[in-house]
Amino acid sequence: MDSNQHDQLDQQDQAQWFVAHTYSGYENKVKASIEATVENRNMEDLILEVQVPVQEVVESKNGKRVVKEKKLFPGYVMIKMFMTDDSWYVVRNTRGVTGFVGPASKPVPLSKAELKSMGIRQQRVEISMKVGEEVKVTEGPLEGFTGIIEEVHPEKSKVKVNVSMFGRETLAELGFEQIEKINT
């Protein structure tokens, strides 16, 4: 990160939620594309989280009750980020994004009231785990495996865990809710 980016980050010490407009039906593709670009360009410190808000809806199909996820805001993706020239460029130039929500496509962060009404939580999950501690993965594709915490990222509610699977070490990024401490 160059000094210009640091200057921009100093102007706002907390990441804010912004809304990007997408082609309808492209929300999940846009989310995946932004997340892949962030990882490829090592921008995890600028773009922290991407969400497509959904709610569970119970539908009746052929006499059976089926629970489906329905997008709350079709055509929109919520992004928690520090607004810099680089982060703006990445989101704005993601395939399927038509622009940011705001006057003249100038991004305007969501207010606390708007976040609350959308069900986006602002509070952080506290974690009492430290680098070097052993944890068990409790959900996701690595469920049941154990590993050692390599990095803790409280601002993203994530940890990097070195998981031992099939005799090999694999570094995995997991959410706080996906792991539990192994009491020794």
Q: DSSP readout, 2-59?
A: -HHHHHHHHH-SS-EEEEEEE-TT-HHHHHHHHHHHHHHTT-TTTEEEEE--EEEEEE
Global pTM? 0.58
| Dist. CA 171–CA 35, nearest whole Å | 17
Q: Within 13 A of 13's CA, how many CA atoms are on the CB side? A: 0
% the chain with pLDDT above 90: 29
- The pair of structure tokens assigned to 24 is 């309808």
- In whole angstroms, give the CA distance from residue 174 to residue 177: 8
- The residue type found at 177 is E
- Confidence at residue 177, expressed as pLDDT on a 0 to 100 scale: 76
Report yes or no: 43 and 35 within 8 Å, Cβ to Cβ: no
- For the segment 13-32, what is each residue's pLDDT rounded down to a tens digit? 578 999 999 998 999 999 99
Per-residue confidence at 63, pLDDT binned at 50, 70, 90?
Answer: confident
